Amino acid sequence: MKIVPLCAVLILSASQPVMAQPSQSQKVCLQQNLIYGWDVVDDKNLIDTDRARKKFAVTLMPGCYDLKFSLRLGFKAFSGSDLSCLGHNDYVLVPPNAGRPRQRCLISDVQAYNAAPPSGSGGPSK
């Protein structure tokens, strides 16, 4: 009978470990107590750097303004622990500055930041 060899193949293939496929959205962890610095791209995007010099793209929900003029920013995880990773619904604190009110900007997303080199760059210009 041909059913037995087919069953044997199915059993052997089911017992083999499944190879994990690489995920496009790998879990990243930007801890609020390890933030070394940041760059404000615009009122919805920050590039944060941690103490290990890894960069993270932090997307903010609409509602914050004039972030480029802030000298300081604070980062607060909803869990309240310094060891937790910043993510959706945590926030960036913007202290009052030059007549501007204090702001609490909700974080929409945190991703690893991979800056692509500019296209067509042939080296340093002289």
CB-based contacts of 26, cutoff 8 Å, min separation 6: 112
Average pLDDT value over all residues in the chain: 78
pLDDT computed for residue 93 by the predictor: 93
The verdict on pTM exceeding 0.75 is no
Q: Is residue 60 part of a domain?
A: yes
pLDDT computed for residue 101 by the predictor: 87
- Structural domains in the chain (count): 1
Q: Is residue 91 part of a domain?
A: yes
- What is the per-residue pLDDT across 39-89, written as a single tens digit (0 to 9) for each? 999 999 999 999 999 999 999 999 898 888 888 999 999 887 778 899 999
Supply the range of the domain harboring residue 76: 32-112
Q: Is residue 51 part of a domain?
A: yes
pLDDT computed for residue 89 by the predictor: 92
Q: Is residue 62 part of a domain?
A: yes
Helix, strand or coil, per DSSP, at residue 7: helix
Q: Is residue 42 part of a domain?
A: yes
pLDDT computed for residue 117 by the predictor: 56
